[in-house]
Amino acid sequence: MNGTRLAAASLLLIAFVWACPGAFAQTDAATPVEELKPIEELTLEMMVQQGTPILWAIIALAFVAVVLAIYLFLTVTARREAPAKLLRRVTNQIRAGDMQGAIMLCEGRDELMARVLHAGLKMADQERYIIQESMESEGERGAAELWQRISYLNNVGVIAPLLGLLGTVWGMIGAFGAIALDNSQVKGLTMAYNVSQAMITTAAGLLLAIPALLVYYFLRGRVLRVVSIVESQASEFVELIMRNQKA
């Protein structure tokens, strides 16, 4: 999945909303008075039941965000991207002069540290700058993938309030339409109902966006730590490889 696919999915959500204009007409001039009776308390269940397709789109986006956040919490860690056991085994192989064995340990693994070491070990018979450039290039690609992976939560944090704003604008259109076109005795109640629906989508968008951005900023700190560890370990392995060359 990439940024283009996420943008396409967002456009599909908006297209679905615009394709169902009738669903947004929460109430009109023909709405019976008994259906708009005042209620003593607005519950969460009532908010969801009265929600528009935009609200359901936000709820679906929230489900995706929760699954994504759990996945990223479990996978974007220094322990996974730079496993200590792998570092020890590769170090022992290099010190023993078994470069091919060290390469085999890193080959086929998807951890960032393993990929960086594999790129450097393949050039172990070259000069220092060639080894460094190989490891740096692979490290940059791996770091870019980590940033891309967590950026989806940032995208959720940006899209959710925009969806909420769209629901708010639509609800306000209905409210002002009630003022202009509704001649019945329940004009005020009709307008209040539309405004309430508009505020519900705004609140839902913010309730999704704020936690998504908080998790994103937390994971951003993790990515910075992972990249720092990999850079530090890569420098040590360059020195280790060079000592093995001289030996």
pLDDT of residue 233: 92
Give pLDDT, residue 243: 85
Question: What span, in angstroms and rounded, lies between the C-alpha atoms of 102 and 91?
Answer: 8
Alpha-carbon separation of residue 28 from 17, 46, 47, 171 (angstroms): 19, 19, 19, 12
Residues of the chain with pLDDT under 70: 1-51, 174-196, 247
Which alpha helices (DSSP H) does 1-52 contain, by range? Answer: 3-19, 44-49
* The pLDDT value given to residue 232: 92
pLDDT at 69: 95
Q: What angle do CA 59, 60, 63 make, to 5 degrees?
A: 90
Question: Is-contact 102 90, C-beta < 8 A?
Answer: yes
* Residue-level pLDDT at 143: 94
d(CA 183, CA 16) in angstroms, rounded, equals: 32
pTM above 0.85, yes or no: no
Residue 204 to residue 67: CA distance in whole angstroms: 18
Domain-wise residue ranges, the chain: 49-246
pLDDT given at position 172? 76
